[in-house]
Structure formats: structure tokens, C-alpha cells
């Protein structure tokens, strides 16, 4: 139930803000909006307010804003309230507003987290234990919160990253841990436990762990400092996702790494169990992901529509119906292929755990 509720909450908010971006800019531009929908048909809720019909669809994997004169294959009268009657710059703003709103949503979420919760600060020079998992190898060895890890198998460590590099390579093998507690040096041999993850090729690999978390404290930030931190973290997400997409295109990472609805649901459920703050961070990351994927120049996505508008601006007239249909068919075929791949990946992950 936690997974289901978390998934509905995350996807509902992301889709709502994305479509809200299209809706607001369309309204500001004087475009007649016929329908605003969260989810795809069949509709389980429909209500008309003013000139717009608001709907909730039974398939919660997207949404849409239906504007007058939006589709080239429908009859266009040339009325000023129609989408195609607006200048290219206005139509570009309407199309781009959806992905841009997802970027803004991610920033607002992270801004709020940094302002309310603060920034997590750790010791920059030492690997200090904050949590020890119950029945973990670390607990059995006597490690406690506040212990400072000095070395692993004789290799000095100065951060959790240093410690992880050594321990991860030792799967279900004994390692010697040296630590300091209240000025006293201590040592013990710990047999790591096996955990599974995925490498860049999408293959499942085993890593060693001892079951400890890093100690840190939350430092409260001012309103504007939190805004800057939130914006910076949002840009970090942009760089991470853009790099992943580029590595995917250049085949530096495997398509096995792509996840779909099942993966999102599983991840949302896991983050919800860690706490509402963790779920919000996951939502912000997913929001940036949605923004970037939507601006890719693939017909049927927002990026494809933006590409059509660029071509129209260059040639001085809209693309022919025939060329648009061909491009959209290619884009649709590509998206179907992606859906098949991510569905296969989700099924494999689910079966193999």
C-alpha cells in the first residue's frame, strides 16, 4: 500500500505540474484550452469549469492539455484563439512551459527541504559512523555510533568513500577494521555481507558491505541560501541525467539501466519507507528527469514539437502534413521500442529481485 500511494503521489504531482505549465502559458497567450487531463482515457472524472473541461483518466502514466487548433490534421479556422494562429515564439513558449515547470518544481522542492530540514554536514576528514544496522557484521564486531574508522585491511581511510572502495571489493570475505573510540584504538575482523547492484553495462554484480551509515548533522540555512542550494542541486541533477542520456546514446552504458513504471513504483515505495523527505528528494530528481526526457528532439514529445517549430521558423512556414506524419510515426515507433525495453527491464528486475 505504501508503494501504491507513493507512486500515485509522485506521478500525480509531476504530471500535474507539467501539464499546468502548458495550461498557464496557453491561457496567458489567449489560446482556448478545451481540456485539461491528468491521466489518459477512460476518464473516471470529468467536470467543466468555464470553457475548459477538467478530467482524471484511469491510466495514470501521463496527461495532456487539448488546445483549439493544436493538431494540424483538425480544421483550423484561423481564429485568434487557436494554437496555430499564434506566432512561433508564443507556441514555443507554450510547448516549453511543461518541461520548464518540472524544472521549477524540482527547485522548489529542494529549496523547501534545505530551508526546513537544512544541509546534511559530515566530517570532511574522517569516516565517522552514524548508524549501525541491526544484526549487521559491523554490529556483531562491536562497532558503535561515533566510532572513527582509521583503516580497512591496513589501508588508511579518511572518508566513507575511501572505506567503501575497499569493503565493496570484499564480498563475504573477512576484513580487518581499525577504529578509534574516545581516544582508544580498537580493531576487529569483520566478514562482509553480500549486496547486489548494477554496473554500467546493466549487469547485476555483488558488492561487500558491513552495515554502517555516515554520521552527520543538519545545518539550518537561510531562506535565500536555501534557494541557492536548491537551485545548485537541481543543476547537479540536470548534469547527472544529461550525462546518463549521452552515455546511453554513445553506448557507454547499457539500455538495461533504463527503468519504467514498475521501477519508479519500487523506488518510490523504498524512498517513502525512508521518510517523506527522502520521497520528496526522489520526486525532485524524477521531475528533472521528466523535464530532460521531454525536451529530447523526438516527435510526439515536447522536444519533437519544439523541433518542428524551429524548422517552421527557419523555412517561414509550417512543415507539411506528410512530413509531420512521417516524423511522428518514426517517433512513435521509437517510443514503443523504448516502452518494450523498459518493460522487459522492469520484469527482469522484479523476477530477479
Query: Mean pLDDT per segment of 10 residues, for the chain of length 353 residues?
Result: 82 93 95 92 90 90 87 71 90 95 96 92 88 90 91 89 88 91 91 82 82 88 95 95 88 79 80 86 94 90 92 86 85 86 80 68
DSSP 178-209: EEEETTEEEEEEEEPEEEEEE-TTS-EEEEEE
Which of 186, 218, 250 finishes a domain? 218
pLDDT of residue 7: 84
Q: 102 and 159: one domain?
A: no
Q: Are 269 and 91 in contact (CB under 8 A)?
A: no
Q: Do 58 and 44 meet the contact criterion of CB atoms below 8 Å apart? A: yes
Same domain, 125 and 111: no
Q: Is 19 a catalytic residue?
A: yes
The predicted pLDDT at position 202 comes to: 67
User: Rounded to whole angstroms, how far apart are CA atoms 32 and 85?
Assistant: 11
Residues 289 and 342: their CA atoms lie apart, in Å, by 15
Output the pTM of the full model.
0.84
Neighbour tally for 199: CB within 10 Å: 12
Tally of structural domains, the chain: 2
With cell 519500487, the residue in question is 266
281 found inside a domain = yes
Same domain, 56 and 96: yes
φ/ψ (deg, to 5) at 117:
-95, -40
100 in the same domain as 13: yes
Residue 236: its pLDDT value, please? 95
The span from the CA of 19 to the CA of 149, in Å, is 49
Residue among 19, 34, 74, 75 flagged as catalytic: 19
Three-class SS state of 53: strand
Say if CB 102 and CB 18 are below 8 A apart.
Answer: yes
Boundary of a domain, candidates 162, 185, 218: 218
Rounded to whole angstroms, how far apart are CA atoms 260 and 245? 15
If asked whether residues 77 and 144 sit together in one domain, one would say: no
**Quick check: is 198 in a domain?**
yes
Domain termination site, one of 164, 191, 218: 218
Q: How far apart are CA 115 and CA 109, in angstroms?
A: 10
**What are the residue ranges of helices labelled H in 191-320?**
223-249, 261-274, 276-294, 302-315
Residue pair 296/114 in contact by the 8 Å Cβ criterion? no
pLDDT of residue 87: 92
> Looking at the structure, do residues 55 and 79 belong to the same domain, yes or no?
yes
- Give the C-alpha separation, 111 to 113, whole Å: 6
Per-residue model confidence (pLDDT) at position 270: 82
Provide the 3-class DSSP secondary structure of residue 147: coil
Predicted pLDDT at 200? 65
Q: Examine the domain organization and report whether 113 and 174 are in the same domain.
A: no
Query: Is 230 within the bounds of a domain?
Result: no
CA angle 193, 194, 195 (to 5 degrees): 120
In a domain, 26, yes or no: yes
In the numeric block, the cell 541491526 is attached to: 134
How far is 145 from 213, CA to CA, in rounded Å?
A: 9
Residues 149 and 207 in one domain: yes
pLDDT at 196: 81
Containing structural domain, residue 139: 121-218
Answer yes or no: do 94 and 175 share one domain: no
Q: Is 232 within a domain?
A: no
pLDDT score of 300: 83
In a domain, 24, yes or no: yes
CATH number reported for the structural domain that contains residue 179 in this entry: 2.30.42.10
- DSSP 3-state assignment of 227? helix
Amino acid at each position: 500500500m505504501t508503494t501504491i500511494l507513493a507512486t500515485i503521489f509522485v506521478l500525480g504531482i509531476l504530471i500535474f505540474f507539467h501539464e499546468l505549465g502548458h495550461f498557464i502559458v496557453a491561457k496567458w497567450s489567449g489560446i482556448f484550452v478545451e481540456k485539461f487531463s491528468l491521466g489518459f482515457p477512460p476518464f473516471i472524472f470529468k467536470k467543466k469549469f468555464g470553457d475548459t473541461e477538467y478530467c482524471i483518466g484511469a491510466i495514470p502514466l501521463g496527461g495532456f492539455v487539448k488546445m483549439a487548433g493544436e493538431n494540424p490534421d483538425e480544421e483550423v479556422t484561423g481564429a485568434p484563439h487557436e494554437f496555430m494562429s499564434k506566432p512561433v515564439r508564443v507556441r514555443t513558449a507554450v510547448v516549453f512551459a511543461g518541461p520548464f515547470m518540472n524544472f521549477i518544481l524540482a527547485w522548489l522542492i529542494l529549496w523547501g527541504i534545505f530551508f526546513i530540514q537544512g544541509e546534511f554536514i559530515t566530517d570532511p576528514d574522517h569516516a565517522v559512523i552514524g548508524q549501525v544496522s541491526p544484526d549487521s557484521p559491523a554490529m556483531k564486531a562491536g562497532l558503535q555510533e561515533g566510532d572513527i574508522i582509521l583503516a580497512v585491511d591496513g589501508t588508511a581511510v579518511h572518508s566513507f568513500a575511501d572505506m567503501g572502495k575497499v569493503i565493496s571489493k570484499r564480498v563475504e570475505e573477512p576484513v580487518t577494521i581499525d577504529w578509534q573510540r574516545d581516544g582508544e584504538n580498537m580493531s576487529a575482523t569483520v566478514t562482509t555481507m553480500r549486496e547486489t547492484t548494477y554496473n554500467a553495462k546493466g549487469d547485476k554484480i555483488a558488492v561487500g558491505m558491513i552495515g554502517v551509515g555516515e554520521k552527520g548533522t543538519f545545518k539550518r540555512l537561510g531562506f535565500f541560501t536555501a534557494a541557492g542550494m536548491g537551485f545548485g542541486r537541481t543543476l547537479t541533477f540536470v548534469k547527472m541525467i544529461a550525462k546518463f542520456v549521452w552515455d546511453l546514446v554513445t553506448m557507454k552504458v547499457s539500455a538495461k539501466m533504463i527503468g519504467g513504471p514498475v521501477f519508479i513504483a519500487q523506488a518510490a515505495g523504498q524512498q517513502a519507507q525512508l521518510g517523506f523527505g527522502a520521497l520528496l528528494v526522489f520526486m525532485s530528481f524524477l521531475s528533472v528527469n521528466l523535464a530532460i526526457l521531454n525536451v529530447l528532439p523526438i516527435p510526439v514529445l515536447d522536444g519533437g514539437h519544439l523541433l518542428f517549430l524551429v524548422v517552421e521558423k527557419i523555412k517561414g512556414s509550417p512543415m507539411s502534413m506528410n512530413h509531420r506524419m512521417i516524423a511522428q510515426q518514426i517517433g512513435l515507433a521509437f517510443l514503443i521500442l523504448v516502452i518494450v525495453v523498459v518493460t522487459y527491464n522492469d520484469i527482469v528486475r522484479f523476477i530477479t529481485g
